[in-house]
C-alpha cells in the first residue's frame, strides 16, 4: 500500500527530496563538507601557493612562535615553516588515507562479493582468512606488516589497506548473500548470463551504495591510522612532511614549544572529524532503510490536525461510527490524502467487510481508527471516529492508548512479523492481558492457556511455552487472535487476517473468527481484498477505491446486484470454482476496449 502511494506521489510535484538536498538538510554533514572542501582545496593547490619550501631547514630560525614575521604558524626544531609543512603534510595524509581506502574497498568488496555469491567452501575459506586478519589487534597487525616490509610511506599504506580489508569484505558479503537468493538473480541466470556476469552486472550495482557508505565512514579512520604509523616513525620518513610524523617530531618539544605538536594535532582532528560528519551524512542519505522513512521515530499516536472542528457525535446504535474520515501523508512539503472522507458504522455483534485493491486506502482506514498510522508522515486531517458515542481523536494520548487492545483489538496479516520472535507465545498473550489489567503472573499464564484453548490450539498447556517460529502459520494467526481477545474487546479489526495462509487453513481461521464473534457478541471489521472471504463471513460490505467508499450494502445483495461499475467489474473478475474455462471468455469483453 505504501508502495502504491509512493509511486503516485513521485509523478506529481511532491517528489521526494533529492539526495543532494537531503544531505544539505543535515547541518553537521554540511559543516563537515565545507571544512573538508576547504582543507582539500588548499592541500591540492599546495604547489602553487606562496609558501616556503617545507623542507628548507634554517637552524638559526628554529622554534619561532606563532604569528612571527614570515612564519604565520611559526617554525619547528629545524627552522622549517610549520604552515608549509602542515599543508604539504595534509596532502600526503589525505592521499595515503584515500588510496588505502580505495585499495581496501576494491580487494575487500571483491572478496565479499565472491564469497557471498559462491557460498559453500569458497565462502568458508575466504571468510576464515578474513577472520584471521580480524583476530589481531589492528595496530599490531599493521606494525607487523610494516616490520616485514620495512618502514616507508608506501608500506604503511599497504599495511593499512590490508588491515581494513575485513571491514569491506564482511559488509559486502552480508549484502551479497541476501541479493544472491533474490529472484532477479535467478531470472538473469535463466536469461543466459554466466555467474561472473551476474556477479558484476546484476549484484554489484545493488551492492555499490553499501561500498560507498563503508568507504565514507572509513576514510577518516584510515587517515588516523596513517598518522599513527608515521607518529611511530614507520610511515613517512624524514624529511617528508606528514601529519603523523610532524606530531611525532613535536612530541619531544611539547613543553618548550607546544605549537609544534598541537598544530598538526588540530589538523588531524579537523580532517577526521569533518570526514566522519560527512560520512555519517552520506550514510543517512544512501541507506535505503533510513531514507524510506523519516529519520525520526514515529509518535505513539497519529498526529491529528483537522481542517474543520469535529461535529458533535450524533447518538446512534453503532458501536463504531466513522464520519468523513480523512487521513493524509506528508510527501516532501505537500500532504496527499490517502483516505478521503470515509464514513461507515458498525453495530454490536455485526461483521463488516472493507474490500478494495492494493492502494485503495483500506488498511490506512483501519489503522486510522485508533491513530495507529505512523506519524510522521501520517496526519488525520478531517472527520470523527466515535467509539460508543465518544470521539477518539478528542481523547488524550493516554486515552487513545487505553482503548487499544481493551476496547478495540487488531489482528494483522502476518503473525510472524507481529509476534516477537524471542518471547514464548504464552508470555506474549499474558503481556497483552497485564497491559490493561492488574493481575499476577500465574493468573495471567492461566488466562493465556484458557485463551489458547478458546482459539482452538490443542495441548495449550504444552504449547504455551513454544516460540513463534515453532508454530505453523495457521497456529500463529490463532495466537494473534488470542492476543486480540485477551481483554474482551468489543470490536476486532482484522487486517487481511488470512491472506498469508493456505486455503484450507484460511477456512478454519475464518470459521474461528465467526464462532468467536457469535459467542462473544463482538463487532468485527474485516479488511480484505478477497470477495470470497467477504461472502463467507460478512453481514455488510463496503467497497473502497482510491481512498473512497464507492458502494456499501448487505453482502448478499451487493454481490448479487452490484450498482457501481467498479464493483461490477471487480466481482466479474473473481474466478469461481465450477466456472471453468468459461471464466476467461466472460471477462474478455471487460478488457476489450481501453487496452494500454
Partner 1 sequence: MSNAIVVKDLVKTFGGKRSLFGGTGHAVHAVKGVSFELKQNETLAIVGESGSGKSTIARMLVGLETPTSGTIAIGGQDYAELHAKGSREFGQMIQYVFQDPVASLNPRKTIDTILDVPLKLLRGYDSEKRKARKRELLDAVQMPSDTLERYPHEFSGGQAQRIAIARALAAEAKIMVLDEPVSALDVSVQAQVLLLLDDLKREFDLSYLFISHDLAVVESVSDRVAVMYLGEMVELDTAEKLFAAPGHEYTRELIASAPRLERERQSRPETDRRGTTELSSRA
Q: CB under 8 Å to 205, separation ≥6 — which residues?
A: none
Among 66, 511, 563, 565, binds partner 1 (CB under 8 A): 511
CB of 527 to partner 1, least distance (A): 14
Cβ burial, residue 271 (10 Å; 0-12/13-18/19+): buried
Q: Residue 379's CB: how many other CB atoms inside 10 A?
A: 19
What Cα–Cα distance (Å) separates residue 405 from each residue in 410, 485, 526? Answer: 7, 8, 16
Residue 529 binding partner 1, by CB under 8 A: yes
Written as nine digits, the cell of 185 is: 538473480
Which residue, 29, 93, 44, is CA-closest to 264? Answer: 93
Residue 594 binding partner 1, by CB under 8 A: no
Tell me how far apart the alpha carbons of residues 218 and 199 are, in angstroms, rounded to a whole number. Answer: 25
Among 211, 419, 512, 552, binds partner 1 (CB under 8 A): 512
Binding residues for partner 1, total number by CB under 8 A: 70
Among 190, 309, 315, 422, binds partner 1 (CB under 8 A): 190
CB closer to partner 1 out of 312 and 578: 578
Written as nine digits, the cell of 303 is: 498526529
Tell me how far apart the alpha carbons of residues 263 and 251 are, in angstroms, rounded to a whole number. Answer: 12
Q: Return the range that interacts with partner 1 (CB under 8 A); candidates 22-30, 127-135, 266-274, 525-533.
A: 525-533
Contact by Cβ (8 Å): 33, 278: yes
Residue 583 binding partner 1, by CB under 8 A: yes
Among 21, 56, 68, 191, binds partner 1 (CB under 8 A): 191
CB closer to partner 1 out of 36 and 479: 479
Residue 2 binding partner 1, by CB under 8 A: no
Residue 567 binding partner 1, by CB under 8 A: no
Residue 189 binding partner 1, by CB under 8 A: yes
Residue 589 binding partner 1, by CB under 8 A: no
Among 421, 440, 580, 594, binds partner 1 (CB under 8 A): 580
String of contacts with partner 1 for each residue 69-108, x by CB under 8 A: ----------------------------------------
Contact by Cβ (8 Å): 382, 302: no
Among 93, 226, 384, 506, binds partner 1 (CB under 8 A): 506
Q: Return the range that interacts with partner 1 (CB under 8 A); candidates 388-396, 432-440, 441-449, 512-520.
A: 512-520
Q: Cell numbers 624529511 label which residue?
A: 239
Among 18, 417, 472, 563, binds partner 1 (CB under 8 A): 472
Tell me whether strands 318-331 and 334-347 are parallel, antiparallel or unpaired.
antiparallel
Residue 561 binding partner 1, by CB under 8 A: no
DSSP 8-state class, residue 65:
P
Residue 182 binding partner 1, by CB under 8 A: yes
Among 174, 233, 349, 575, binds partner 1 (CB under 8 A): 575
**What is the three-state SS of 88-127?**
HHHHHHHHHHHHHHHHHHHHHHHHHHHHHHHCHHHHHHHH
Tell me how far apart the alpha carbons of residues 309 and 176 are, in angstroms, rounded to a whole number. Answer: 53
Q: CB under 8 Å to 366, separation ≥6 — which residues?
A: 354, 410, 493, 495, 525, 527
Helices (H), 455-564: 460-463, 473-485, 503-520, 531-537, 555-560
CB closer to partner 1 out of 139 and 507: 507
DSSP 8-state class, residue 203:
I
Residue 587 binding partner 1, by CB under 8 A: yes
CB of 187 to partner 1, least distance (A): 5
Restricted to residues 448-467, the positions that interact with partner 1 (CB under 8 A) are 456-458
DSSP states of 156-183: HHHHHHHHHHHHHHHHHHHHHHHHHTSH
Residue 415 binding partner 1, by CB under 8 A: no
Residue 591 binding partner 1, by CB under 8 A: yes
Residue 579 binding partner 1, by CB under 8 A: yes
String of contacts with partner 1 for each residue 357-386, x by CB under 8 A: xx----------------------------
CB of 467 to partner 1, least distance (A): 14
Residue 315 binding partner 1, by CB under 8 A: no
Residue 409: in which H helix or E strand, if any? strand 408-411
Tell me whether strands 318-331 and 351-356 are parallel, antiparallel or unpaired.
unpaired
Among 15, 140, 290, 590, binds partner 1 (CB under 8 A): 590
Residue 132 binding partner 1, by CB under 8 A: no
What Cα–Cα distance (Å) separates residue 329 from each residue in 5, 361, 378, 380? Answer: 9, 12, 5, 9
Among 280, 284, 530, 546, binds partner 1 (CB under 8 A): 530
Written as nine digits, the cell of 316 is: 446512534
Q: Residue 111's CB: how many other CB atoms inside 10 A?
A: 21
Among 47, 150, 440, 596, binds partner 1 (CB under 8 A): 596
The footprint of partner 1 (CB under 8 A) covers 4, 7, 182-184, 186-194, 202, 205-206, 357-358, 456-458, 471-475, 502-508, 511-512, 514-515, 529-533, 535-537, 555-556, 559, 569-571, 573-584, 587-588, 590-591, 595-596
Amino acid at each position: 500500500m505504501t508502495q502504491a502511494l509512493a509511486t503516485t506521489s513521485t509523478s506529481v510535484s511532491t517528489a521526494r527530496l533529492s539526495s543532494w538536498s537531503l544531505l544539505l538538510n543535515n547541518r553537521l554533514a554540511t559543516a563537515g563538507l565545507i571544512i573538508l572542501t576547504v582543507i582539500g582545496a588548499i592541500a591540492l593547490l599546495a604547489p602553487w601557493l606562496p609558501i616556503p619550501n617545507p623542507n628548507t631547514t634554517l637552524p638559526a630560525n628554529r622554534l619561532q612562535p606563532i604569528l612571527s614575521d614570515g612564519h604565520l604558524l611559526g617554525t619547528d626544531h629545524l627552522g622549517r615553516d610549520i604552515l608549509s609543512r602542515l599543508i604539504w603534510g595534509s596532502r600526503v595524509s589525505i592521499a595515503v588515507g584515500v588510496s588505502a581506502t580505495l585499495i581496501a574497498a576494491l580487494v575487500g568488496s571483491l572478496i565479499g562479493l565472491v564469497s557471498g555469491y559462491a557460498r559453500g567452501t569458497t565462502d568458508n575459506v575466504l571468510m576464515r582468512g578474513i577472520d584471521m586478519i580480524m583476530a589481531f589487534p589492528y595496530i599490531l597487525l599493521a606494525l607487523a606488516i610494516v616490520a616485514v616490509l620495512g618502514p616507508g610511506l608506501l608500506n604503511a599504506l599497504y599495511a593499512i589497506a590490508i588491515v581494513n580489508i575485513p571491514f569491506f569484505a564482511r559488509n559486502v558479503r552480508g549484502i551479497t548473500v541476501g541479493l544472491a537468493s533474490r529472484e532477479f538473480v535467478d531470472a538473469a541466470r535463466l536469461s543466459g548470463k554466466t555467474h561472473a556476469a551476474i556477479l558484476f552486472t546484476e549484484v554489484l550495482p545493488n551492492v555499490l551504495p553499501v561500498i560507498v557508505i563503508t568507504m565514507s565512514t572509513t576514510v577518516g579512520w584510515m587517515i588516523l591510522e596513517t598518522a599513527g604509523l608515521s607518529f611511530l616513525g614507520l610511515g613517512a620518513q624524514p624529511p617528508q612532511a606528514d601529519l603523523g610524523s610532524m606530531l611525532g617530531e613535536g612530541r619531544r618539544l611539547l613543553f618548550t614549544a607546544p605549537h609544534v605538536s598541537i598544530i598538526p594535532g588540530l589538523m588531524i582532528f579537523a580532517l577526521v572529524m569533518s570526514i566522519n560528519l560527512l560520512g555519517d551524512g552520506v550514510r543517512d542519505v544512501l541507506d535505503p532503510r533510513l531514507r524510506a522513512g523519516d529519520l525520526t521515530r514515529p509518535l505513539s499516536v497519529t498526529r491529528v490536525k483537522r481542517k474543520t472542528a469535529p461535529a458533535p457525535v450524533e447518538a446512534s446504535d453503532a458501536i463504531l461510527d466513522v464520519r468523513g474520515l480523512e487521513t493524509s501523508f506528508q510527501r516532501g512539503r505537500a500532504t496527499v490524502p490517502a483516505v478521503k472522507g470515509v464514513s461507515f458504522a458498525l453495530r454490536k455483534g455485526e461483521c463488516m467487510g472493507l474490500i478494495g485493491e492494493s492502494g485503495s486506502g483500506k488498511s490506512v482506514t483501519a489503522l486510522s481508527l485508533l491513530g495507529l498510522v505512523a506519524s510522521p508522515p501520517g496526519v488525520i486531517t478531517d472527520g470523527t471516529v466515535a467509539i460508543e458515542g465518544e470521539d477518539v481523536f478528542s481523547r488524550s494520548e493516554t486515552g487513545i492508548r487505553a482503548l487499544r487492545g481493551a476496547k478495540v483489538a487488531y489482528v494483522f496479516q502476518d503473525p510472524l512479523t507481529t509476534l516477537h520472535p524471542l518471547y514464548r507465545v504464552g508470555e506474549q498473550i499474558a503481556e497483552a492481558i497485564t497491559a490493561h489489567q492488574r493481575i499476577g503472573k500465574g493468573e495471567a499464564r492461566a488466562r493465556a492457556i484458557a485463551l489458547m484453548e478458546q482459539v482452538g490450539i490443542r495441548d495449550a498447556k504444552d504449547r504455551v511455552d513454544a516460540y513463534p517460529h515453532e508454530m505453523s502459520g495457521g497456529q500463529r494467526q490463532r495466537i494473534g487472535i488470542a492476543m486480540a481477545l485477551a481483554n474482551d474487546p468489543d470490536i476486532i479489526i482484522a487486517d487481511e487476517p488470512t491472506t498469508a495462509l493456505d486455503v484450507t487453513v484460511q477456512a478454519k481461521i475464518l470459521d474461528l473468527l465467526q464462532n468467536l464473534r457469535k459467542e462473544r457478541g463482538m463487532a468485527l471489521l474485516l479488511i480484505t481484498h478477497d470477495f470470497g472471504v467477504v461472502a463467507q463471513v460478512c453481514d455488510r460490505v463496503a467497497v473502497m477505491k482510491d481512498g473512497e467508499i464507492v458502494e456499501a450494502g448487505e453482502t448478499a445483495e451487493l454481490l448479487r446486484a452490484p450498482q457501481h461499475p467498479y464493483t461490477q467489474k471487480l466481482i466479474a473478475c473473481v474466478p469461481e470454482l465450477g466456472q471453468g474455462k468459461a471464466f476467461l471468455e466472460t471477462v474478455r469483453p471487460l478488457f476489450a476496449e481501453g487496452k494500454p
